[in-house]
Amino acid sequence: MERKSSDLQTAEQKQIAVWLLCVCAMVYAMVFLGGITRLTYSGLSMVDWKPFTGWLPPMNAQEWEAVFAAYREYPEYKELNTGMALAEFKSIYWFEFIHRFWGRLIGVVFFVPFIFFFVRGWIDGRQLPKYLFMAVLGASQGVLGWYMVKSGLVDNPDVSPYRLTAHLGLAIFIYGYILWVALGLLRSPVREGGYAGAFVPVFLIFLTILSGGFMAGSSAGFGYNTFPTMDGEWLPEGLYALQPFHTNFALDITTVQFNHRVLAACVVAVVMVYWVWARVAGATVRLRRSADVLLVAAIAQATLGVATLLLIVPVPLALLHQAGAVALLSVAIWNLVEFLAAEKRIPI
């Protein structure tokens, strides 16, 4: 009887894990859609926010004229898109509409199964805080997204790089946290501590993604399109020259790109060291396999970054680079879960 109960609990955990992995896939797609919206300059095409009633797009010519007229009242149209035709406006509006619609759909896909699993007792009181935390994070992301858009509707027809990076960072954190919980259900940890070394790649990759947000927010990828030096210099002139000092990390394209390059190089170096450790420290087969994938993903992502820079940020390559960053983080989280689930207590 005890074994049957354990098997049932495992089956329930697997179903919950599959649900969470589906949510992860949708959040991954959401990050990709956000990249498309940013790179096509579509994010400011919707100038209002209707979180509960904005499910439908304009349904007729009169409604399209109304949303277009509203757009023409804001700086992006007046300063960048004066004379834009309605057909051109529709092309950017649809990107932002799909982006927002997908966010609402993620909410539905999260809440409906969550209520089902909770009512069935598959999510008990001890586990409940994890899922409530996910819900709070998701709601906060919607609010933060509008807070970001508002920054581009005032004087400057571009969103704040600080708010853009915060929006991206929260999306990545939500994705990573849900993936961590899902993989934990599939691979229960057997250790409670001693995982600092396996956590370092996760932290560095997340930090590098944040620096990528500042790259996008300041359009720093369009400067210094050489590698490995920055226009022939290892330490370009003007690094950290802005005052106050913290503005260099978001507003100075020289510093922003330099930071991103350094962090990316650190990721590759740390992953290489970690891979060597996994080979010589008697790691389990599954852990070595995840370390192999992590190394390949890190090198591939760095290569994509260099290509994106040298080719001056072509949209398809930039999107692939953004998707690659999330994929790399996913592998790092998987590797960390495998480390915690390793049967042999490996020193690190």
**What's the whole-number mean pLDDT along residues 80-89?**
93
Q: Give the pair of three-digit tokens for residue 185.
A: 């259900």
H helices of the chain, in order, are 2-39, 61-71, 75, 86-119, 128-150, 161-186, 196-218, 248-251, 253-280, 285-310, 315-341
Ordered by start, the domain boundaries in the chain are 1-186, 191-348
Confidence check: pLDDT of 345 > 60: no
Integer angstrom CA distances of residue 208 from 22, 50, 164, 179, 201? 25, 33, 15, 19, 10
pTM above 0.85, yes or no: yes
**Among the ranges given (60-69, 86-95, 274-283), the one the predictor scored with the smallest mean pLDDT:** 274-283
Confidence check: pLDDT of 346 > 50: no
Instruction: Tell me what pLDDT residue 45 has.
Output: 93
pLDDT band at residue 47 using 50, 70 and 90 as cut-offs: very high
**Contacts for 143 with CB less than 8 Å, ≥ 6 apart:** none
Share of the chain above pLDDT 70, in %: 93
What mean pLDDT value characterizes the chain?
A: 91
Instruction: Tell me what pLDDT residue 2 has.
Output: 46
pLDDT tens for 141-152 read 999 999 999 999
**Contacts for 297 with CB less than 8 Å, ≥ 6 apart:** 324, 327, 328, 331
Instruction: Tell me what pLDDT residue 139 has.
Output: 95
How far is Cα 38 from Cα 319, in angstroms, rounded to an integer?
10
User: Taking Cα atoms as reference points, which of 45, 151, 134, 168 lies closest to residue 96?
Assistant: 45
